[in-house]
Amino acid sequence: MTKKNKKSSVLKGPRLPAPDTSRHLLGIADLPKARIEFLLDAARALRLSMEAGQVPPLLQGKTIVNLFYENSTRTRMSFEVAVRRLGGSLLNFAAGGSSVQKGETLLDTAKNILALSAHGLVIRHASSGSPGFLARHVSIPVINAGDGFHEHPTQALLDAFTIREKLGALAGKRVLILGDIAHSRVARSNIHLLRKMGAKVAVCGPPTLLPPNVGALKCERAFRPEELLPRADVVMALRIQFERQNFARQVPSKSEYASIWGLSAARGKLLKKDAILLHPGPINRGLEIDPQVADGPHSLVLDQVSNGVAVRMAVLASLVNPDGLHTFLTTKKRSPKDKR
Ligand code: NCD
């Protein structure tokens, strides 16, 4: 096959230009460190403005669409609260009960929603890469709220925000990510973000639940949680992604998983006094984590949920009204709490 033929191969299809990643939030892999810092600082400023009851109406007159093809409690509601706090209006789309059931494609659904004059699109989908696909076709910012195994960038940003609020800078912090790494978009986005910010990341889980190219993650690897729990500044426990695998083929049984890999009460006692525990939710109590640990003194699970609103406000404003956000950040009264 000549070079020319290769390009027009039917199998490959036409090559579309890559989406402009500065106009969207598709993942953390493409996000420069300076942009991550900017978003975390903007989230902090917006949180302080919420605490002071003076939230800038940065999304006034703007409509954001929540396009959720997968179940969600926290993420969908968090985007919803973020849009409303900034004075925007929201269109909530759930695939169940929509024309998706009649066979409408993702692109057709998105184009029809755009015809309703939206200014931003938040999408969660089981197919990795679907936010990137939409970003190539629509003229408004696309925000990835979780795509398959791939990325969940706003979760990683809110996790980073939570760590920074509690422990200060991320650089040098030891973070242990525990559980089903292979199927977790949360793990993937966090590994990208934490490594960019200079944290020391380690992963631990059953070999069958680590990605086949685990070396490419460039993280330390522990064979048992006990090896790294006593040294970790942050432990991030993950939910087993039952919906993305045949679990029975990966691990002999749930009880075996809990006894070897779960964050049991006994393992919880191995944590350093000031170590923090994160979990993106929803939690499988008694499986990946014991209720005593999930609700114990190290746990910041509910802080993560609260922090998610400020982070998503920053992300939405930065993409849908960047000038407004810039004006807010540069003209608001400076407070010593503003920067970390
Ligand atoms: C995560 C997700 O959807 O990837 N949930 C969330 O957004 N808080 C984690 C999970 O479902 O396990």
For residues 114 and 285, which has the higher predicted lDDT (pLDDT)? 285
pLDDT above 80 (res 71): yes
pLDDT at 340: 56
Work out the number of other CB atoms within 10 angstroms of the CB of residue 230.
12
- Mean pLDDT is lowest, of 54-63, 93-102, 147-156, for 93-102
Q: How many CB atoms lie within 10 A of CB 193?
A: 25
Cα–ligand 1 centroid distance for 305 (angstroms): 12
Tokens at 193, concatenated: 């973000």
Evaluate the omega torsion of the peptide bond into residue 282 and state whether it is cis, within 30 degrees of 0.
yes
* Better pLDDT: 137 or 268: 268
Atom of ligand 1 nearest to the CA of 239: 12
Question: Residue 7 has what pLDDT?
Answer: 46
How much is the average pLDDT of 110-124?
90
Mean of the per-residue pLDDT values of the chain: 91
Residue 69 has pLDDT above 70, yes or no: yes
**Region 80-93 average pLDDT:** 96
Residue 94 has pLDDT above 80, yes or no: no
**Tens digits of per-residue pLDDT, 211-227?**
888 888 899 999 999 99
Q: Find the DSSP H helices in 52-122.
A: 74-85, 106-114
Cα R_g (the chain), whole angstroms: 21
> Residue 283 C-alpha to ligand 1 middle, in angstroms?
9
Determine the atom of ligand 1 nearest the C-alpha atom of 185.
4
Look-up: residue for tokens 């269109």? 91
Ligand 1 — pocket residues by CB below 6 A?
Answer: 74-75, 146, 152, 155, 185-186, 239, 280-281
Residue-level pLDDT at 251: 86
- pTM of this structure: 0.92
For 148, left (φ over 0), alpha (ψ -120 to 50), or beta?
left
Chain segment 17-27, per-residue pLDDT in tens: 677 878 999 99
Residue scoring higher pLDDT (7 or 221) = 221
Q: Which two tokens stand for residue 157?
A: 């940003």
Mean pLDDT along residues 1-18: 51
24 three-state secondary structure = coil
Give per-residue pLDDT as tens, 259-317.
999 999 999 999 999 999 999 999 999 999 999 999 999 999 999 999 999 999 999 99
Residue nearest to atom 7 of ligand 1 (CA): 75
Res. 9 pLDDT band, cuts 50 70 90: very low
pLDDT at 1: 40
3-class SS of residue 291: helix
pLDDT digits (tens, 9 = 90+) for 240-258: 999 888 888 888 899 999 9
DSSP three-state, residue 220: strand
Sign of dihedral through CA atoms 68, 78, 323, 321?
positive
